[in-house]
Amino acid sequence: MQNLFNGFFKSEFRINEAVGRSVTYVRGGKLLGGNSGFAHIGTYRIAEDEIHVDVTSRRHNFDVGHQSLLGSDVSTISVSGRAVGKAFHFEGGSPQVPNAVFRSVMTPLDESDLAAPGLVGEAGITDGLYSIRLSILDGVPGGLTGVMLLNNGRILGGDAFFYYLGSYSSSNGRWKGQMVNQEHTPARGEDPVFGGHEIGIGFSGTCNAGGGSLEGTALAGKRSIRFEAQLRLIYAA
């Protein structure tokens, strides 16, 4: 069980009739992830064939379009579950919605595109979970928000529809890297720029103890899209 519940997952969760999705990285008793509106920070323990998870969901995007399924900017969830095939099924509740049942399914994501880690030196960007807000340049409409986990030269991140894998190098207040952005759930027109494409991304920028900025180019098929993004550290790992 310990070896199976380990790595990068997409999560689909339900509270009564409401549905949400996120990406989640699980390793060493910690759970880190989130989506366009919320960061998820938690711990887990495994007892025989059952997994017990405690998660805090914390808003990082205060746009009105991103509302909590639990009705709070900060909420807590406790669930228990077990493996069902390659996925993990959980059930539990939250004190913020005491009469509701919280159910979730975590399904492994393909990490084969995860590149070898880059080098991180003195005054490099901090390991941890970040919120990311990306804007398209050159007058092209579109953008996205999500979470990004930086860990010793590797990148894992995403939101309710996309996940990305990559690597970075950083030192002396600067960083650069590359990622591959893919759908884990069909976007159904939610993002007209990235939806339906596997995107290769290269970027460079500056960083400090609390976050970073970057500019880069995304290649969507034959289309080249310039963008900029801001990262804010939510949880130092």
* Cα(168)–Cα(174) distance, integer angstroms: 10
* pLDDT confidence bin for 138, thresholds 50/70/90: confident
> Is residue 139 pLDDT above 90, yes or no?
no
Query: Fold identical between 7-108 and 128-236?
Result: yes
**C-alpha to C-alpha distances, 176 to 131, 141, 159, 170, nearest whole angstrom:** 17, 25, 22, 7
What is the second-level CATH architecture of the domain 7-108? Answer: Beta Barrel (2.40)
Instruction: Please tell me the predicted confidence (pLDDT) of residue 135.
Output: 92
Average of pLDDT values for 6-20? Answer: 93
Q: With the CA atoms of 207, 10, 178 and 189 taken in that order, what torsion angle do they form, in degrees rounded to the nearest 10?
A: -100
Average of pLDDT values for 193-212? Answer: 86
CATH number of the 128-236 domain? 2.40.128.380
Structure tokens that stand for 66 in this block: 């991103």
What are the boundaries of each domain within the chain? 7-108, 128-236
Q: Model pTM greater than 0.75?
A: yes
φ and ψ at residue 190, rounded to 5 degrees: -65, -35
> Is residue 39 pLDDT above 70, yes or no?
yes
φ and ψ at residue 192, rounded to 5 degrees: -70, -15
* pLDDT confidence bin for 195, thresholds 50/70/90: low
Average of pLDDT values for 76-105? Answer: 95
* pLDDT confidence bin for 14, thresholds 50/70/90: very high
Instruction: Please tell me the predicted confidence (pLDDT) of residue 194.
Output: 64
Beta strands in the chain (DSSP E): 7-15, 18-27, 30-34, 38-47, 50-59, 74-84, 87-94, 97-108, 128-136, 143-151, 154-158, 162-171, 174-183, 199-208, 211-220, 223-236
* pLDDT confidence bin for 193, thresholds 50/70/90: low
Structure tokens that stand for 142 in this block: 């579109």
* Cα(205)–Cα(224) distance, integer angstroms: 19
* Cα(122)–Cα(183) distance, integer angstroms: 34
Average of pLDDT values for 159-177? Answer: 96
Structure tokens that stand for 4 in this block: 């199976």
Cα 134 to chain centroid, rounded? 14
